Amino acid sequence: MNAMADEGSIDLLNGRFLRGELAELEQKMLLEVFSKYVSHVDGMVNDGKEATVYRCLGHDNEYYAAKVYRDRRFRAFANESSYMDAASIGDRRLAKAIRQRTKTGRRTSQRLWIDREWQALNVLYEAGASVPEPVDKAPDAILMELVGSDGAAAPMLAQMKLDRSEAETAFKAILLDIEVLLDCELIHGDLSAYNILYQNGRPRLIDLPQVLDIHGPGDNFAPFLRDIENIATFFERQGLCPDPLEISIKLWRRYV
């Protein structure tokens, strides 16, 4: 079985691998592609629908998070075709392959998602947003700061029950981050309490492959409003009364 194909990436999920075998292959791949930073892969943080996140121990004894994307999982992205068009890809044959989801197309599409998340992480981290610090990128994976403490990943905001003052502080911090994104001309595009980690009172935004440009293509106010509505829904449950439409309009007018 030739697991290490093509620049250290794994051509996986053709139905021949069991989950455990797959995890083993992915961990081997991570050790290889991130050998400059990682000395040991120390289990899974999360096995999600679009990516698996592994906890890695660095040569510096710090913990890192490695997010591994997989071919099969990209079928879950709903808005893929909205901006992965021929123009943005610059290759009509590839664009067609992506639309038709051929093997080459799926792999290219996967890499565009990884590139997109990597770029967004870098731009936003540099701009001061509370995203994990990006460390390194491989064809199928991103290495970044493990958000948490003492090697334990922080919980998702969605799992938290906050008191009023914690909720107010967290909500303000998230709105400031949303302003940093807007200032970078970006919308998260999948923001919710599930894509925010709560690290000792500090919200940290994660999961950025679907970031959108505030200037389109198309009118991106609707996805922006949806992001704000998702956040507002969580904070309503914590006793706040945010008005997502008012907040969205105010921010949109200020930045777009």
Ligand X SMILES: Nc1ncnc2c1ncn2[C@@H]1O[C@H](COP(=O)(O)OP(=O)(O)OP(=O)(O)O)[C@@H](O)[C@H]1O
Please report, as ranges, the residues that interact with ligand X according to CB under 6 A: 45-46, 48-51, 53, 65, 67, 132, 144-148, 153, 156, 195, 197, 206-207
Q: Show the beta-strand stretches assigned E in 5-92.
A: 38-47, 51-58, 63-69
User: Is residue 207 part of the contact set for Mg ion (CB under 5 A)?
Assistant: yes
Listed residue (47, 45, 46, 49) closest to 57, CA to CA: 45
Phi, then psi, of 123 in degrees rounded to 5: -60, -45
Number of residues that bind Mg ion (CB under 5 A): 2
* Cα-based distances in Å from 243 to 87, 161, 171, 230: 37, 20, 12, 11
Among 27, 108, 195, 210, binds Mg ion (CB under 5 A): 195
Q: With respect to ligand X, which residue has the nearer C-beta, 128 or 155?
A: 155
Angstrom distance (rounded) from CA 9 to CA 128: 31
Taking the complex as a whole, the smallest distance from the CB of residue 253 to Mg ion amounts, in Å, to 29
> In this complex, which beta carbon is closest to ligand X, that of residue 97 or of residue 196?
196
Q: Please choose, from the candidates 38, 34, 97, 83, the residue with its C-alpha nearest in 3D space to the C-alpha of residue 62.
A: 38
- Least distance (Å) between residue 129 CB and Mg ion: 16
How far is it, in rounded angstroms, from Cα 45 to Cα 244? 32
Shortest distance in whole angstroms from residue 33 CB to ligand X: 17
The residue assigned the tokens 């999961």 is 207
Which residue, judged by CB position, is nearest to Mg ion in the bound state?
A: 207
Residue 26 interacts with, from Mg ion, ligand X, none (CB under 5-8 Å by kind): none
Extract the tokens encoding 245. 């439409």
Shortest distance, position 78 Cβ to ligand X, whole Å: 13
User: Which range, of 56-64, 94-102, 169-177, 207-215, touches Mg ion by CB under 5 A?
Assistant: 207-215
d(CA 76, CA 87): 23
Q: Nearest to residue 108, comparing CAs of 78, 71, 77?
A: 71
- Complex with ligand X: residue 138 or 146, whichever CB lies closer: 146
Question: Is 248 an interacting residue with respect to Mg ion (CB under 5 A)?
Answer: no
- Is 130 a binding residue for Mg ion by CB under 5 A? The answer is no
- Minimum distance, C-beta of residue 86 to ligand X, in the bound complex (Å): 26
Give whichever of 95 and 208 is closer to ligand X, judged by the CB atom: 208
- SS3 for 179-223 is HHHHHCCEECCCCCCCCEEEECCEEEECCCCCCEECCCCCCCHHH
| Candidate segments 141-149, 168-176, 199-207, 220-228, binder of Mg ion by CB under 5 A | 199-207
94 vs 205, beta carbon nearer ligand X: 205
Minimum distance, C-beta of residue 217 to Mg ion, in the bound complex (Å) = 24
Give the nearest distance from C-beta 43 to ligand X in angstroms.
12
Interface positions with Mg ion (CB under 5 A) = 195, 207
